Amino acid sequence: MSTDSTRDHAESPQSPPAAGELPAAVLRMWGAEAPRRRGPKPALSTAQIVQAATDLADAEGIAAVSMARIAEAVGYTPMALYRHVSGKEELLVLMSDAVARFLPDLPADIGWRAGLEAWTRLQIDWVLARPWILELPLSAVAPGPNRVRWMDQAFGVLSQVDLPADEKLAIVGLLAQHVLGEARVQAETRRAAAQTVRRTAGLPDSTPESELDPAAIEAANPWADFETVLTQYSDPTSYPHLFGAFATWSGPMESTPVEDEIAFGITVVLDGIEAYLKRRGAIPDTGS
């Protein structure tokens, strides 16, 4: 069997699309592929390949996704896959849209702020359930139908505010950036904490996080004692502003769960968006 290292890199580079022409991967996501030749319907499909890749990423992470492994999973040779997908690069593009089908619908009749809060939080939860999503080209490729469906829901709640389409799109983009940043911090922190627990317990690196003690993972959070570090090492000469801020700090009353940290960030971002909407006259300014 061919492997990615031999086949993927042996492919001749594709020419960039001409001005106004969408990349082949984007066309494939939207079902705008070249018409199929006459004859029996192929037993293997692009959707099957993408599903097998998603299953593999769920089980072993994105590093395990290769054309050879997927071919083995679907029962074909790697060469057969290339009739449907040009290579791993395009496959990751297709996966970035396919995995968005797991995003749920927003509740009906929800207010604009509650709607955007849910829209943002559900995406963070979506990524944390599948951290390998962060390794997909989410920001580098035009979205396909599943991601656009999710964007359409954001525009649905924003139909309650009086803003032109481009400004609504900018707000959606701002929240999407917050999702990626927050999810990356949470995912990387959890990964580091889980690895610390494995090593402390003498467990192999392959031990699934689901088999680890959640309390131990929380205690191993590398940021758990960050404020304490600042109070102990922020001297007034080298770090005068941090020293001044933490000089009278006695520590948190209780530990803050991850959920509250996520909610705090979303709240601050939405407070800024609400202030902008009021300034633009897009929503009533009640003076609150």
Q: State the Cα angle at 21 between 36 and 17, rounded to 5°.
A: 95
Tokens of 181: 């940043």
| Burial of 201 from C-beta contacts in 10 A (0-12 / 13-18 / 19+) | exposed
CA distances from 66 to 47, 60, 205, 268, 278 (A): 16, 12, 21, 40, 50
Give the confidence band of 35 by pLDDT, cuts at 50, 70, 90: low
End-to-end CA distance of the chain: 66
What is residue 108's predicted lDDT score, i.e. its pLDDT?
87
Q: Is the separation of the CB atoms in 224 and 193 below 8 Å?
A: no
Least confident of 17-21, 54-58, 97-101, 194-198: 17-21
Q: Is the separation of the CB atoms in 113 and 278 below 8 Å?
A: no
Q: What's the mean pLDDT when you consider all of the chain?
A: 86
131: which DSSP letter? G
* CA dist., res. 23 & res. 141, Å (int): 9
CA distances from 129 to 166, 179, 223, 267 (A): 31, 13, 21, 22
Q: Give 278's contacts (C-beta < 8 A, 6+ positions apart).
A: 284, 285
What is residue 3's predicted lDDT score, i.e. its pLDDT?
41
Residue 98 burial (CB count, 10 A): 22
CA neighbours within 13 Å on the CB side: how many for 98? 21
pLDDT tens-digit map of 128-182 = 999 999 999 888 888 899 999 999 999 999 999 999 999 999 999 999 999 999 9
Give the confidence band of 268 by pLDDT, cuts at 50, 70, 90: very high
What is residue 288's predicted lDDT score, i.e. its pLDDT?
54
Query: Which domains, and CATH codes, for the chain?
Result: 18-30+41-101 (1.10.10.60), 104-279 (1.10.357.10)
Three-state secondary structure along 69-107?
HHHHHHCCCHHHHCCCCCCHHHHHHHHHHHHHHHCCCCC
* CA dist., res. 260 & res. 238, Å (int): 32
Nearest to 69 by CA among 152, 1, 20: 1
Nearest to 126 by CA among 70, 182, 171, 61: 182
* CA dist., res. 172 & res. 129, Å (int): 22
* CA dist., res. 53 & res. 133, Å (int): 12
What is residue 7's predicted lDDT score, i.e. its pLDDT?
43
Q: State the Cα angle at 104 between 153 and 139, rounded to 5°.
A: 65
